[in-house]
Amino acid sequence: MSTPYAKLPGWVDYGLIPLINVVVAFLVAGLVVLIVGENPFEAAVILVKGALGGGQNIAYTLYYATNFIFTGLAVAVAFHCGLFNIGGEGQAYVGGLGLSIVCLSLDTTFPWWINFPLAIVATALFGALWALIPAYLQARRGSHIVITTIMFNFIAASLMVYLLVGPLKAANTMAPQTRDFLPGGQLPKLNFIFDALGMTVRSAPFNVSFLLALAASVFVWALVWRTRFGYELRTMGFSPEAARYAGINESRIIIITMLISGALAGLMSINVVMGDQHHVALDFASGAGFVGIAVALMGRSHPFGIIPAAILFGMLYQGGADLSFEMPEISRDMIVIIQGLVILFAGALEHMFRPAIQTIFASLSPRSVGIAAKAEAR
């Protein structure tokens, strides 16, 4: 009998199956570590210790997680509408351009708490603008958003190189980056939280952007599940035909969704630039936009799933730094593999273990998978 995908209890659907998928992804990643000639268990211990072994480490983990919450939310919002925004990387990068305009012109004039909201507006605006053209092309000209957003990542990279070696470059350095922002362009750290908890943090870039990321998560939750627009957006995602039949304006939803998605990706630049580096440098997004895809898939595109998924990838980033120090063979590129495996098992192969789990549940209690209920209905 091949009628899979019957209804399972909620905790299996939203808890057990995603968990199994992620565990399998990590097991395969362990195989790669084995091929490289290292012990995957030792690697895992070093990784977890590096990510969570002390206030300093946890603060770094949360700093990286902040990036991935933003980019994960960006991908998730588009997913709900049936759109696949691979352009988070470029949108975040161009968001940094908006940020540089605010910080370079106002960091001497205003304190950070005035520049921070201005930076939110600027980064969201620039990120959204970078998503606008692919969105327009998808909505009105039918060109595939996946390809156009990828192309816009490449175009963003060229544009930023041009600006950072040319107009935006600081006069007194050779490096292709803007001048360092003065205190008006620097966000305060949140490390005192760890001090209060009795842990020591020497210098970690964990900053108030984390609170912004949490606020953005609540915003996305409210937008997608508690507004009329969110309802239209999800209808589009489930069935474009149904949305059309219900009189929902397709191109309007596509364009607004992509603008929100791009804006969320753009916000990510605040954490890196104002929170840590204090200047806009080449390739500062360093792949966070792509990690967002894995985070969104792992978190089932729900903010409450995205936050733990982002923290997990934050652990991989922070712990991965320690790992590459102890095991030089396993560089940061290992995370790219894990990312790919998570996307494969939590995304493309999400139904792989479903038939087996269903069989187990059916044999344990037929009622829980709805088989008995169906028989009664007949």
Partner 1 sequence: MNSYMVLIQIADATVRVSVPLLLAALAGLYSERSGIFDIGLEGKMLAGAFAAGAAAYVSGSAWVGLGVAIIVSIAMSLVHGVASISYRGNQIVSGVAINFIASGSTVILGQAWFQQGGRTPSVSGAARFGDIALPGANAIRPIPIVGPIYSNVISGHSIIVYFAFLMVPFTWWVLFRTRFGLRLRAVGENPAAVDTAGISVAWLRYRAVICTGILTGVAGAYLSIAQQASFVKDMSAGRGFIALAALIFAKWKPVPVMLACLLFGFLDAISIRYQGIALPGIGKLPAQLMQALPYVLTCVLLAGFIGKAIPPRAGGVPYVKER
Q: How far is CA 259 from CA 20, 170, 263, in A?
A: 34, 31, 6
Instruction: State in angstroms the smallest separation of the CB of 244 from partner 1.
Output: 18
Nearer to partner 1, 156 or 187 (CB): 156
Nearest partner of 313 among 31, 63, 1, judged by Cα: 63
Angle between the N-to-C axes of helices 55-80 and 288-298, in degrees from 0 to 180, rounded to the nearest 10? 70
Nearer to partner 1, 29 or 106 (CB): 29
Are the C-beta atoms of residues 285 and 123 closer than 8 Å to each other?
no
Nearer to partner 1, 2 or 363 (CB): 2
Contact status: 147 vs partner 1 (CB under 8 A): yes
Quick one: DSSP state of residue 124?
Answer: H
**What is the spatial distance between Cα 346 and Cα 23, in angstroms, rounded to a whole number?**
10
Instruction: State in angstroms the smallest separation of the CB of 350 from partner 1.
Output: 7
Are the C-beta atoms of residues 178 and 280 closer than 8 Å to each other?
yes
Looking at 132, 150, 223, 362, which residue binds partner 1 (CB under 8 A)? 150
Nearer to partner 1, 35 or 196 (CB): 35
- Subset of residues 21 to 50 that bind partner 1, contact rule: CB under 8 A: 32, 35-37
Instruction: State in angstroms the smallest separation of the CB of 263 from partner 1.
Output: 21
Provide the residue type at 17 as one letter.
I
**What is the spatial distance between Cα 318 and Cα 315, in angstroms, rounded to a whole number?**
5
Nearer to partner 1, 25 or 120 (CB): 25
φ and ψ of 104, to 5 deg: -70, -30
Interior/surface letters 249-267, b for 16+ CB within 10 angstroms, e for the rest: eeeebbbbbbbbbbbbbbb
**What is the spatial distance between Cα 315 and Cα 46, in angstroms, rounded to a whole number?**
11
Nearer to partner 1, 158 or 203 (CB): 158
**HEC per residue, 100-161:** HHHHHHHCCCCCHHHHHHHHHHHHHHHHHHHHHHHHHHHHHHCCCHHHHHHHHHHHHHHHHH
Task: Provide CB contacts within 8 A for 249, sequence distance 6+.
Answer: none
Task: Provide CB contacts within 8 A for 288, sequence distance 6+.
Answer: 67, 68, 70, 71, 88, 89, 92, 268, 272
- Which of these ranges, 43-51, 97-105, 324-332, 362-370, lies near partner 1 under the rule CB under 8 A? 324-332
Nearer to partner 1, 59 or 280 (CB): 280
Count residues near partner 1 (CB under 8 A).
52
Instruction: State in angstroms the smallest separation of the CB of 254 from partner 1.
Output: 15
Contact status: 195 vs partner 1 (CB under 8 A): no
- Which of these ranges, 121-129, 236-244, 264-272, 323-331, lies near partner 1 under the rule CB under 8 A? 323-331
Q: How far is CA 365 from CA 3, 17, 39, 353, in A?
A: 18, 18, 40, 18
Instruction: State in angstroms the smallest separation of the CB of 346 from partner 1.
Output: 9
- Subset of residues 154 to 193 that bind partner 1, contact rule: CB under 8 A: 154-155, 158-159, 161-162, 166
Instruction: State in angstroms the smallest separation of the CB of 185 from partner 1.
Output: 26
Write down the residue that tokens 């950070």 correspond to: 112
- Which of these ranges, 47-55, 221-229, 290-298, 309-317, lies near partner 1 under the rule CB under 8 A? 290-298
Nearer to partner 1, 126 or 181 (CB): 126
Contact status: 84 vs partner 1 (CB under 8 A): yes
Nearer to partner 1, 3 or 172 (CB): 3
Instruction: Tell the burial category of 93 from Cβ atoms under 10 Å away from its Cβ (0-12, 13-18, 19+).
Output: buried
Stretch 325-354: interaction string toward partner 1, x if CB under 8 A: ----xxx-xxxxxxxxx-xx--xxxxxx--
Q: Which helix (H) or strand (E) holds 67?
A: helix 55-80
Instruction: State in angstroms the smallest separation of the CB of 267 from partner 1.
Output: 23
Nearer to partner 1, 216 or 338 (CB): 338
- Residues of the shown chain interacting with partner 1 in the complex, contacts defined by CB under 8 A: 2-3, 32, 35-37, 84, 86, 133-134, 137, 141-144, 146-148, 150-152, 154-155, 158-159, 161-162, 166, 290, 293-294, 297, 329-331, 333-341, 343-344, 347-352
